[in-house]
């Protein structure tokens, strides 16, 4: 039965179309990443370099939008109302942390919260939407939409497999997520922007370049230093916030109940 009694049920062709879109988006993302890593195009600022930048930008953005279109109609209303809160939290907390010069981002805390509360599809959709809306204020984040989707997807996956049942498991899951997100996002930073957009991270990339690393290798190593720590902190904070929620509220999410995301903590 439809989760909402006022709405018609979906036809099998609609479900099939969404699955095809999700598969196409995932394949496009993986394919683009593999092509970039295997071929390692040189000359990012001349010849076909700008073509590589445009193709990387377009492919990562298209993959993220395909995943969003595939996932969005499937989300219940309780998750849809949660997503704007998460998007606003990403932006407000990200800006607040940025304004006090602490070397953390914390700009994916809302995405991880949705992933923990509503599952990986909702987390992925929140990641993409967050990037699309943030791009209205900072257009350079646009090609990182696929990386943001991966953060939400991995947060939901970690919650589903018990990362919130013990407080120390959440930051460990964050470290793993940070490694994967850093590796996936590195080609965008390298081939679209020629490095990174922050002075601190730029200095780390420059240090690796001075040791003879290629640009992609240097950006990947920088991402592997920055992202795991950031995601470990974000996952821990999101987990602590969820522990602080009233049971009535956290228990209202089907994902939390179905996969016993909070373990014993959710039943006490």
- Of 27-35, 139-147, 163-171, 175-183, the segment contacting another protein by CB under 8 A is 139-147
The verdict on 14 binding another protein (CB under 8 A) reads no
Radius of gyration of the chain measured on its C-alpha atoms: 19
The verdict on 46 binding another protein (CB under 8 A) reads yes
Among residues 98 and 161, whose Cβ is nearest to another protein? 98
Residue from 199, 264, 267, 268 in contact with another protein (CB under 8 A) = 199
Among residues 153 and 208, whose Cβ is nearest to another protein? 208
Question: Which residue pairs, CB below 8 angstroms and at least 24 apart, start in 27-32?
Answer: 28/59, 28/62, 28/63, 28/66, 29/59, 29/60, 29/63, 29/64, 29/146, 29/184, 31/59, 32/56, 32/59, 32/60, 32/63, 32/187
- Of 25-33, 156-164, 176-184, 211-219, the segment contacting another protein by CB under 8 A is 211-219
The verdict on 249 binding another protein (CB under 8 A) reads yes
Cβ–Cβ < 8 Å for 145, 132: yes
Please report, as residue ranges, which positions from 75 to 94 form the binding site for another protein (by CB under 8 A): 75, 77-78, 80-85, 87-89, 91-93
Among residues 162 and 251, whose Cβ is nearest to another protein? 251
Residue from 34, 37, 96, 247 in contact with another protein (CB under 8 A) = 96
How many other C-beta atoms can be found within 10 angstroms of the C-beta atom of residue 203?
Answer: 11
Alpha helices, H only, the chain: 12-39, 49-71, 77-99, 109-118, 120-134, 145-160, 169-187, 199-210, 215-244, 247-250, 254-258, 264-267
The verdict on 197 binding another protein (CB under 8 A) reads yes
Please report, as residue ranges, which positions from 51 to 70 form the binding site for another protein (by CB under 8 A): 51, 53-54, 69
Please report, as residue ranges, which positions from 104 to 133 form the binding site for another protein (by CB under 8 A): 113, 129, 133
Q: How far is the CB of 210 from another protein (least distance, A)?
A: 4
Q: Angle at the Cα of 119 (from 143 to 257), degrees rounded to 5?
A: 170
Cβ–Cβ < 8 Å for 65, 124: no
Residue from 21, 165, 179, 209 in contact with another protein (CB under 8 A) = 209
């Amino acid at each position: 039965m439809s989760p909402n009694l006022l709405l018609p049920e979906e036809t099998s062709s609609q479900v099939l179309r969404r699955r095809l879109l999700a598969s196409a988006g995932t394949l496009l993302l993986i394919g683009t990443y593999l092509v970039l890593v295997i071929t390692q195009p040189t000359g990012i600022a001349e010849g076909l370099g700008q073509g590589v930048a445009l193709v990387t930008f377009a492919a990562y953005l298209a993959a993220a939008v395909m995943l969003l279109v595939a996932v969005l109609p499937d989300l219940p209303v309780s998750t849809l109302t949660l997503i704007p809160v998460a998007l606003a939290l990403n932006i407000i907390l990200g800006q607040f942390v940025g304004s006090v010069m602490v070397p953390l981002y914390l700009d994916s805390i809302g995405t991880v919260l949705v992933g923990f509360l509503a599952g990986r599809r909702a987390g992925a959709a929140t990641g993409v939407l967050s990037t699309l809306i943030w791009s209205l204020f900072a257009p350079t984040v646009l090609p990182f939409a696929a990386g943001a989707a991966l953060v939400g997807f991995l947060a939901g996956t970690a919650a589903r497999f018990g990362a919130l049942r013990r407080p120390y498991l959440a930051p460990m899951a964050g470290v793993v997520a940070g490694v994967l997100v850093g590796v996936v996002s590195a080609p965008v930073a390298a081939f679209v922007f020629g490095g990174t957009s922050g002075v601190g991270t730029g200095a780390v990339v420059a240090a690796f370049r001075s040791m003879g690393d290629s640009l992609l290798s240097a950006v990947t190593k920088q991402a592997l230093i920055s992202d795991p720590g950031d995601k470990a902190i974000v996952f821990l904070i999101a987990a602590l916030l969820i522990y602080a929620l009233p049971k009535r509220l956290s228990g209202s999410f089907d994902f939390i109940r179905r996969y016993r995301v909070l373990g014993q903590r959710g039943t006490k």
